[in-house]
Amino acid sequence: MAETTGSGTAAGAAEPPLRKASWKYVGPGIVVAATGVGAGDLVATLIAGSKFGYTLLWAAIIGCLVKISLAEATGRWHLATGRTLFEGWRTLGRWTTYYFAVYVVIWGFVYGATAMSSSALPLVALFPDGPSLKTWAMICGLLGLAFVWFNRYAVFEKVMTAVIGMKFLIVVYVAVRVAPDLGNALAGLAPVLPDGSLLYTLGLIGGVGGTITMAAYGYWVNSKGWTDISWLKVMRLDNRVAYVTTGVFVVAMMIIGAELLHSTNVALTSGDRGLIDLGQVLEDKFGAVTANLFLIGFFATSFGALMGVWHGVSLMFADFVERLRRERGAASGAPDASAAEGDMVGEVAAGKREKSVPFRAYLLWLTFPPMGLLFLDEPFGLVIAYGVLGAFFMPFLALTLLWLLNSSRTPEQWRNGIVSNVMLAGAGLLFLVLCVQQVRDLPW
């Protein structure tokens, strides 16, 4: 029986012709690249470069290919079915709702404090006589809140494009400044595993650019106005731009780690503060101008990730709440709850989610309650819950996409092919291994 899925095409009906892929459409991919690569990702890549030189460069590049496959699957689900990702998760059972509900509340609470602190660190280094870290962190949180609250996707995308342009130019400039050894860099494309490098290798493949923002990509695709399968070629080009850009960041940071740290045996502080250490190394070697440029790039990286999460995850939360509201309304026989499921994609495209109460409520949740954590050590139980839920999200995303895109929930012609299945299955296995390791490393 034919089924209409909102802005999707009824089964058996003629599909709309695919639009020609064009650079003028690129946008959601830029947003996901600006959001997905945070300060923690840059530190992880720096440390890999400082420990192993260029040897693991191949792993970083494979990681970008894995993310291309995951983001493509997310975007294809939205375009081929006319349903949002959360609608797809709901068809897999109520367990997905319980998991997402707990995850998005706890994760948002802890991430809010982390993102604000990360954005504040370079500002404290740039303005040592200015406000304290906590004050800068709260200012960053409030700026992110105000920007997302009062703007819509079109403006958000333009600002994120400027952010990633700043990150790109600064990080590449610093990488060129440290004079990379091109011969060793090319040798790093050969898959080699030095002693003790397995976990770093898996982390590079799975970690950089791999967050909940990958699930938000489909929502940004819809917010751009791409609501049916005719946009598939455009979305695929956009997605490749995102992860080629991510790949450039990763390679540039590995060059910096290999040339500036590996050769001189300089150790970085763990976490985002490692970038402050690097700023000091750059100042000692190249002067204050280069160091300050790097700190500006650090701020753009952290604050871009903050704004991206404030917008993208709030969109997902609003979709989650609206879906549950409609289901309850339908169960109670409410006449206004009979709208087609696929209307939710159209509503995202029309910007209705960005004006909704749940969207703004989650924005407030990301901003104000986490400010309390800035004044306290994170409670032990919260750290554990955050770590466990965060570790399970990427395997959850990869394996549920594998399920959705190989079932009758997706029109047959747009289901996974062999390459997509291999990449998603490999990603799911990789993220499961990383999940187990991350849970084992928690301070139980």
> What is the model's pLDDT at position 274?
77
pLDDT digits (tens, 9 = 90+) for 285-330: 899 999 999 999 999 999 999 999 999 999 999 999 999 998 888 7
Q: Tokens in use for 34? A: 């600006």
> What is the model's pLDDT at position 381?
67
> What is the model's pLDDT at position 12?
46
Q: CB neighbours of 34 closer than 8 A, spacing ≥ 6?
A: 160, 161, 163, 164, 167, 304, 305, 308
Distance CA 428, CA 123 (A): 37
Distance CA 21, CA 49 (A): 36
Closest CA to 375 of 206, 154, 138, 210: 138
> What are the E-state strand segments in 81-237?
none
Residue 231 per-residue DSSP state: G
Q: Is 161 exposed, middle or buried (0-12, 13-18, 19+ CB in 10 A)?
A: middle
Q: Provide the 10 A C-beta neighbour count for residue 325.
A: 13
Ranges of residues in the chain whose predicted pLDDT is under 70 = 1-14, 207-210, 263-272, 333-342, 377-383, 385-387, 444
Q: Is the dihedral of CA 381, 383, 389, 395 positive or negative?
A: negative
Look-up of token digits 């549950």: 324
> What is the model's pLDDT at position 377?
63
- For the chain, counts of helices (H) and of strands (E): 17, 0
Question: In Å, what is the CA distance from 42 to each residue of 175, 307, 312?
Answer: 13, 18, 21
pLDDT digits (tens, 9 = 90+) for 216-230: 999 999 999 999 999
Q: Tokens in use for 188? A: 């790093």
What is the pTM for the complete model shown?
0.90
Backbone angles phi, psi at 417, to 5 degrees: -95, -175
Q: Tokens in use for 171? A: 């990080």
> What is the model's pLDDT at position 309?
95
Question: In Å, what is the CA distance from 77 to each residue of 26, 30, 268, 411?
Answer: 19, 19, 41, 10
Q: Is 433 exposed, middle or buried (0-12, 13-18, 19+ CB in 10 A)?
A: middle
Q: For 78-117, give one letter per residue: b (16+ CB within 10 A) or e.
A: bbbbbbbbbbbbbeeeeebbebbeebbebbbbbbbbbbbb
pLDDT digits (tens, 9 = 90+) for 58-76: 988 888 888 889 999 999 9
Q: Tokens in use for 62? A: 């494979």
> What is the model's pLDDT at position 180?
84
Opening angle at CA 370, ends 306 and 400, nearest 5: 60
> What is the model's pLDDT at position 335?
54
